[in-house]
Amino acid sequence: MLKSLKIKNIAIVEDITVNFDDGLNIITGETGAGKSVITGSLSLILGMRADKSIIRTGETKCTVEATFSVDRNSPISAILDDAGIDWLEDDILVIRRVISKSDTKNIINDFSTSLNTLGRVGNYLIDMHGAHDHQSLLSPAFQLSITDSYAHIDITEYQKVYRELEELKSTKFRSFGDEHEKARRVDMLSFQVSEIFDADLQEDEEDELEQELSIVSNAQRIYELTSGIQQALTEDENSAFNSLSIARTMLKELVEISGENQDLLEEIQTAAIQAQEISSSIADFQNKTNLAPERMFELESRLSLIYSLKRKYGTSVQGVLEFGKKANEELQELLSLDKRIEELNRKIAKKKKELLIIAEDLSKKRKQAISKLEKEITDEIQDLGFNSGLLKISQTEISPSLTGIDSIDFSFAPNPGEDIRSLKAIASSGEISRVMLAIKAVLSEHDQIPTLVFDEIDANVGGEIGNAVGKKLNNISKNRQILCITHLPQVAVAGKHHFVVEKHIHNNRTQTTIRKLSDDTKKDEISRMLGGKKFTSFLEKS
């Protein structure tokens, strides 16, 4: 339960402290007096991010502090343990936010903490509902949360399995991508590897082929040259060999006569032998060289293939071979992924089955709770002036989402003879406000949140309906502490405790104050809300 709230230097509030009690706490005041500062300050306590523009003009920081009396058996204990925060004596919990121009401090029981921890703790301290929250009732997600809250359904385990399934799917996509894309990649790599490997390239092949092509391209001239060389060296009548032989015979006779030039005889003999050897080598070259025209076609075709592969895969034969090696490695890895994909698919299928079992159990529990929830909300609605009002809840199966396999839709018929319509089709904010109050009345019997805050939940209603709203709030307050900001006197008179927010001018500065009313001063405030003391006196005389 909220024991006290201290606000300092927020907006037009300089320094106020208000002590709340159990039951229905009514807060009233003129428009613009500063009532919204109270709800805004409570939102800060519950973990809302701070806007530094709320700091009072001329000040460097603002502070809001709330003191709660808390049952140590509540889930809050586990949250505090996780955050390393100790309890104060008498099960007191003190939450403080200090907001300056440079930073923000979040404090629980004198321990610094995070906004996340404030929010987790706040979920078990206060349930806030403002006039602007009526529209949230139109959200299917909010309607589902109402159903789950009523049925005491915890979807934590389901969400854990759901996230695990999504992670498996994500892992599969990140690792293997789209199945079609993988198949396309395998086909492309298979073609590339086959094209390169089937070519059976050799590293020095290109130079050798180009050299041979050069020879074959000049076949006629090569034949003429080799034949001419052979003729000149050994085959012609006046060949070098024949000439050297004649010279050798004459030189031999000269040596015999003179006894000199023996060395020249040996040299001329060597020259004759070299002429024969050169001619023989040229003949061998001519014989082994394929000068046939069809060989040129073979060479050109092979070189064309090499040039094509180089254009696609590398600037050299070595580059093409390296590309083929890497492509084959990637191909083999992709092909090996099939087993890993198969394993992931098995895990995904198993996780889907696990998720579906939990989801169907949640759906069954929701279905069991819906008929009771419909009846209880309908009863509460009828207490709020819809004498024949009717609320229905439809449950539709959808694809698995983070909240299960159910879509929930609230439908409402406010008056006899009218078709039941989805709440989304109801335009009257007054009707929506009363439906929301009826839901809060039902849920207050089922949740463990000790304090409910209603900020003008009675907007757009009045007269006898206002009396019904006040009575309903009073009934809820028998089991919960309620803070209710209202402009409706019919609601205000139902309060157990009454506070009035007032705005004053002091030293040329606007200041907001809040004070608790006694029974007598409460009558004066109700009179003001009705239209003033003079108007009340007129009604009494008439």
Mean pLDDT of the chain: 85
Domains of the chain, start order = 1-125+449-542 (3.40.50.300), 181-335 (no CATH)
Cα separation, 72 vs 475, whole angstroms: 26
Q: Is the pLDDT of residue 223 over 80?
A: no
Handedness of CA 163, 165, 166, 168 (dihedral sign): positive
Which of 76-80, 233-237, 321-325, 477-481 is predicted with the least confidence, judged by mean pLDDT? 233-237
Q: Nearest to residue 389, comparing CAs of 468, 293, 287?
A: 468
Q: Is the pLDDT of residue 541 over 70?
A: no
Cα separation, 381 vs 414, whole angstroms: 9
Cα separation, 353 vs 359, whole angstroms: 10
Hey, what amino acid is at 457?
A: I
Nearest-10 crossing angle of helices 293-313, 179-199 = 150
Report, as an integer, the average pLDDT of 161-168: 94
List, as one string, the DSSP characters of 411-432. EEE-STTPPPEEGGG---HHHH
Cα separation, 69 vs 92, whole angstroms: 5
Q: Nearest to residue 132, comparing CAs of 24, 13, 1, 39?
A: 39
Q: Which helix (H) or strand (E) holds 391?
A: strand 390-401
Phi and psi at 389, nearest 5°, equal: -65, 150
Give residue 286's pLDDT band: very low, low, confident or very high (50, 70, 90): confident
pLDDT score for 291: 60
Which of 198-207, 370-379, 529-538 is predicted with the least confidence, judged by mean pLDDT? 529-538
pLDDT score for 539: 38
101 close to 78: Cβ distance less than 8 angstroms? no
pLDDT score for 24: 94
Q: How far is CA 514 from CA 13, 100, 288, in A?
A: 10, 24, 116
Q: Is the pLDDT of residue 23 over 90?
A: yes
Q: Is the pLDDT of residue 536 over 60?
A: no
List, as one string, the DSSP characters of 254-301. HHHHHS--HHHHHHHHHHHHHHHHHHHHHHHHHHHS---HHHHHHHHH
Give residue 219's pLDDT band: very low, low, confident or very high (50, 70, 90): low
In the chain the first and final C-alpha atoms are separated, in Å, by 44
Give residue 349's pLDDT band: very low, low, confident or very high (50, 70, 90): very high
Q: Is the pLDDT of residue 135 over 70?
A: no
Q: Which helix (H) or strand (E) holds 331?
A: helix 317-383
Cα separation, 443 vs 437, whole angstroms: 10
Q: Which residues pair with 19 in a beta bridge?
A: 4
Which of 35-39, 282-286, 371-375, 429-433 is predicted with the least confidence, judged by mean pLDDT? 429-433
pLDDT score for 305: 87
Higher pLDDT residue, 132 or 235? 235
Nearest-10 crossing angle of helices 429-443, 317-383 = 90
Cα separation, 401 vs 162, whole angstroms: 8
For 209, counting Cβ atoms within 10 Å of its Cβ (0-12 exposed, 13-18 middle, 19+ buried), the class is: middle
Cβ neighbours of residue 9 under 8 Å, at least 6 residues apart? 15, 55, 56, 59, 61, 62, 63
Report, as an integer, the average pLDDT of 37-44: 90
- For the stretch 183-190, contacts whose Cβ atoms lie closer than 8 Å and that sit 24 or more positions apart, written own/partner, are 185/334, 186/331, 186/334, 186/335, 189/327, 189/328, 189/330, 189/331, 189/334, 190/331
Which of 226-230, 333-337, 382-386, 511-515 is predicted with the least confidence, judged by mean pLDDT? 333-337
Q: Nearest to residue 271, comparing CAs of 234, 216, 324, 220?
A: 234
Q: Is the pLDDT of residue 417 over 60?
A: yes
Q: Is the pLDDT of residue 530 over 50?
A: yes
Q: Is 536 helix (H, G, I), strand (E, B) or coil?
A: helix
Q: Which helix (H) or strand (E) holds 494?
A: none
Q: Is 74 helix (H, G, I), strand (E, B) or coil?
A: coil
Which of 22-31, 107-116, 219-228, 240-249 is predicted with the least confidence, judged by mean pLDDT? 219-228
Any idea how long the chain is? Answer: 542
pLDDT score for 460: 66
Q: Nearest to residue 157, comparing CAs of 294, 398, 305, 354?
A: 354
Which residues in 70-170 belong to E strands, given as ranges? 92-100, 104-108, 111-112, 126-130
Which of 29-33, 315-319, 329-333 is predicted with the least confidence, judged by mean pLDDT? 29-33
Q: Is the pLDDT of residue 535 over 50?
A: no
Q: How far is CA 489 from CA 156, 523, 531, in A?
A: 43, 10, 10
Alpha carbons within 13 angstroms on the beta-carbon side of residue 346 total 6
Give residue 178's pLDDT band: very low, low, confident or very high (50, 70, 90): low
pLDDT score for 400: 94
Handedness of CA 188, 191, 193, 196 (dihedral sign): negative
